[in-house]
Amino acid sequence: MNRTSRELSAESICGELGVMSFNASELPDHVSPDNIRLCAKHPHAYASKHGPASNASMPLVHHLGERSCYFAAPYGCSRGGCWKVCDEETGKWCWAAENSGYGHWRYCTTYADCGTDKTDYGCGHLCGPQCGCGC
């Protein structure tokens, strides 16, 4: 096997999640271009056709990111991913990511692993309606 056949491309790693595409000069000053996630969309955006996990408060997530608005809690952990409400009046919510929403997705075991801080638990950016602020 030659070296080229063993190398993985970003496209093959991310698949339908898409590769994160950004222009470093357009990032907010507080966002580190060295801490941007590889794949754009959240893995849960395509993973579930069902409602929230039985042991967690979480907005309803359907296949391909169709989501119900949510008003019962400001943040939580569901299926191992942190989420937070981003508009209390409309119930819009998002999957949380490091680096003000541009970094790695925040994963969790319980809701106590998550939060609402915009730097550590920012709404996912550059990932479309499946993971950004919406419902």
Give which of 134, 130, 135 is closest to 39, Cα–Cα: 130
Which tokens belong to 31? Answer: 């966002």
End-to-end Cα, the chain, rounded Å? 47
Secondary element (H or E) of residue 13: helix 10-14
SS3 assignment, position 57: coil
Quick: pLDDT tens for 63-121.
334 568 888 899 999 889 999 999 999 999 999 999 999 999 999 999 999 999 999 99
pLDDT reported for residue 115: 96
Q: Say what the pTM is.
A: 0.78
Residue 65 has a pLDDT of 43
